[in-house]
Amino acid sequence: MSLVNIKINGMPVQVEAGTSVLAAAREVGIEIPTLCYLKDTNEIGACRICVVEVKGQKNLPAACVTPVYEGMEILTHSKRVFEARRMNLELILSTHKKECLSCMRSGNCELQKMCKDFRIYDENYYAGENIQWPVDDSAVHMLRDNNKCVLCRRCVAVCEKVQGISCIGANERGFETHIGCAFEQTLGESSCVSCGQCITVCPTAAITERDQSKEVWRALHDPNKVVIAQTAPSIRVTLGEAFGMPLGTNVEGKMVAALRRLGFDKVFDTDFAADLTIMEEATEFVHRVKEGGPLPLITSCSPGWVKYCETFYPEFIPNISSCKSPQQMFGAITKTYYAEKMGIDPKDIFVVGIMPCTAKKFEVGRDDMCAAGEGIHDVDVALTTRELARMIDRANLYFPHLPDEEFDAPLGLSTGAATIFGTTGGVMEAALRTAAEWVTGEELKEVDFTDVRGLEGVKKATYKLGDLELKVAVASGLKNAKAVLEAVKAGEEIHFIEIMGCPGGCINGGGQPIQPATVRNFVDLVEKRAAALYRDDAKDVIRKSHENPDIKKLYEEYLGEPGSHKAHEILHTTYVARPNNY
């Protein structure tokens, strides 16, 4: 490692050669403001907010893309630097739709914070001609308002470099530059898979989820509706971030308490349905291995991944597990088994999924998701973690001080295997814990399959299960999914594949709390969130899905056995090839 000696604001600093000025300043506790920069994703120096002064240079270089060199002397907040940053902000504001009081991102907007930090009192300093862009509301999961776009291109970078889709890009040039799809298609017409990763990296409200909280409030205020909440595994370790709690804090009990205080009649755990998913998926896998069927079997929990496969790799549709996702399985069981048990008409049940994923909004409207009858959707509304946080704020609940409460029965009991569904490798590990015992007929003493853990984009492992040498692969992020599918097409033998549409899995889903670049660039969000789920799994008394007593009772009383005809009618689905407008 080669080190260089530099000075930052007169302070001597020694850093590795090639380090950016931005990173070098961070090492001595100086946070240079940025708007377009995202570490390892968008390093283009376009916004010019991070400019610094370098001795001997006439121009002000961008700190995010300028490497340090021996003897370099840097000023991060000289008068000249302050004036340049302020002018750049004022120029950005000149074309920005300024409606901060009513904006969804008010209080969590990077542009807003910068304007406050730089004391921008005249937001119309460079007033002039503006293009009024129409809001694109064609997609079921999100809205795009280019009037609030600052052209940072973070969304473009994450769609291209991380997800490998390139659904959006910079159209036109000069004053007319804007973010859009090819040939000015709407998002609804494009090959967008609804993953929502663009939303999580947008510094303003140019891209937001389609907020459906009004529909939920309407149901909560309807005395004729039985309104039921189900919460995905990852929500318990991310929701606290929206209320200033440390990253990775498990707020399961407070989340349950908040949902009850919002008025939900029952608060259940999607983890129950995750255990149910394993029962059906493991049965499906064992059947394909022993009786014959398309291999590799590929998991179906991530609707963004499923839509991606239907669009870009329809030849693999027979390989996708026919199991509905845990969200949809939960809704289906609620409106069949639970409705029958409680004597409630399924039409009167309103199921709300609290999900980390914007693609869940697309999933609830898919065909073949009406187990209780035509027109009765398994799930009525899917809310993101962010939407739930806004509902909690609106109800004036002081979240950090809420008591810890438990989920309702009988759809609230789950295992450690279900908890880890929220992170990449978790579905695979949960399935292996059950499949290993079913294939070998022996009790599994060690339930931790650590080879499929970790945050690498692609992980592969081989396990010996009796006479079967099982080859598995785990991928998260759609660019990595493509790599695995191409490997299979090229002839690589893999029996079982887990794919999550978002990098790191649901803990990094498109519906999770938005963290600014100052956090994303220097803190491993995914690692902290994942660690919390694994801690929860480790302390659970029951860590195998097939040992969940309420799951056993469900099969005994209602479904018969895993993979039964009734189970297929309620818990399984179909897929369809979609047009590729790439």
What pLDDT, on a 0 to 100 scale, did the predictor assign at position 122?
Answer: 83
Which pLDDT tens digit goes with each residue over 415-448? Answer: 999 999 999 999 999 999 999 999 889 999 899 9
Is pLDDT above 90 for 465? no
| % residues pLDDT > 90 (the chain) | 95
What pLDDT, on a 0 to 100 scale, did the predictor assign at position 164?
Answer: 96
C-alpha 370/C-alpha 349 separation (Å) is 13
Which pLDDT tens digit goes with each residue over 276-309? Answer: 999 999 999 999 998 989 999 999 999 999 999 9
Average pLDDT, the chain: 96
C-alpha 566/C-alpha 560 separation (Å) is 8
C-alpha 40/C-alpha 59 separation (Å) is 25
Residue 389 has which token pair? 């946080």
| % residues pLDDT > 70 (the chain) | 100
Residue 416 has which token pair? 């450690």
The mean pLDDT value for 318-339 works out to 98
**φ and ψ of 374, to 5 deg:** -60, 130
Question: What global pTM score does this model have?
Answer: 0.96
Q: pLDDT category, 83, cuts 50, 70, 90? A: very high
What pLDDT, on a 0 to 100 scale, did the predictor assign at position 468?
Answer: 85
79-93 and 110-117 helices cross at what angle (nearest 10)? 140
Element (H, E) at 536: helix 525-539
3-class DSSP state of 349: strand
Is pLDDT above 80 for 51? yes
C-alpha 566/C-alpha 537 separation (Å) is 30
270-291 and 326-333 helices cross at what angle (nearest 10)? 110
C-alpha 574/C-alpha 444 separation (Å) is 33
The stretches of 292-348 forming alpha helices (DSSP H) are 303-312, 326-333, 339-342
Element (H, E) at 258: helix 252-262
Could you tell me whether strands 169-171 and 178-180 are parallel, antiparallel, or unpaired per DSSP bridges? Answer: antiparallel
Q: For the chain, how are helix, strand and coil distributed in percent, rounded to 5?
A: 40, 15, 45
Which pLDDT tens digit goes with each residue over 138-168? Answer: 999 999 999 999 999 999 999 999 999 999 9
3-class DSSP state of 494: coil
Which pLDDT tens digit goes with each residue over 506-527? Answer: 999 999 999 999 899 989 999 9
Range name among 109-123, 328-342, 353-367, 388-402 with the lowest pLDDT average: 109-123
What pLDDT, on a 0 to 100 scale, did the predictor assign at position 314?
Answer: 97
Residue 350 has which token pair? 């309103």
C-alpha 402/C-alpha 188 separation (Å) is 40
* CA-wise closest residue to 153 among 10, 309, 306, 41: 41
What pLDDT, on a 0 to 100 scale, did the predictor assign at position 125?
Answer: 84
Kindly report the CA angle at 155 between 233 and 512, in degrees rounded to 5? 20
Q: Give the number of other Cβ atoms within 10 Å of residue 292's Cβ.
A: 8
The mean pLDDT value for 361-385 works out to 96
Distances (CA, A) of 262 to 389, 394, 395: 11, 10, 7
Contact 38, 26 (CB under 8 A): no
Range name among 218-222, 289-293, 564-568 with the lowest pLDDT average: 289-293
C-alpha 471/C-alpha 463 separation (Å) is 7
Q: Which residues contact 464 (CB under 8 A, 6 or more apart)?
A: 470
Distances (CA, A) of 218 to 114, 222, 529: 37, 6, 32
Element (H, E) at 469: strand 468-476
Residue 41 has which token pair? 């994703």
What pLDDT, on a 0 to 100 scale, did the predictor assign at position 466?
Answer: 83
What pLDDT, on a 0 to 100 scale, did the predictor assign at position 582?
Answer: 61
Which pLDDT tens digit goes with each residue over 476-508? Answer: 999 999 999 999 999 999 999 999 999 999 999
Distances (CA, A) of 543 to 58, 189, 548: 63, 43, 9
Contact 147, 166 (CB under 8 A): no
Instruction: Please classify residue 70 by burial: count the beta carbons closer than 10 Å to its beta carbon, then call 0-12 exposed, 13-18 middle and 19+ buried.
Output: exposed
3-class DSSP state of 511: coil
CA 130, distance to chain mean position in Å, is 34
Q: pLDDT category, 196, cuts 50, 70, 90? A: very high
Is pLDDT above 80 for 581? no
C-alpha 48/C-alpha 84 separation (Å) is 8
C-alpha 565/C-alpha 455 separation (Å) is 37
C-alpha 267/C-alpha 409 separation (Å) is 9
Residue 478 has which token pair? 């759609």
Say how many residues make up the chain: 582
Domain architecture of the chain: domains with CATH: 3-93 (3.10.20.740), 100-209 (3.30.70.20), 214-571 (3.40.50.1780)
Residue 100 has which token pair? 């901060």
3-class DSSP state of 492: coil
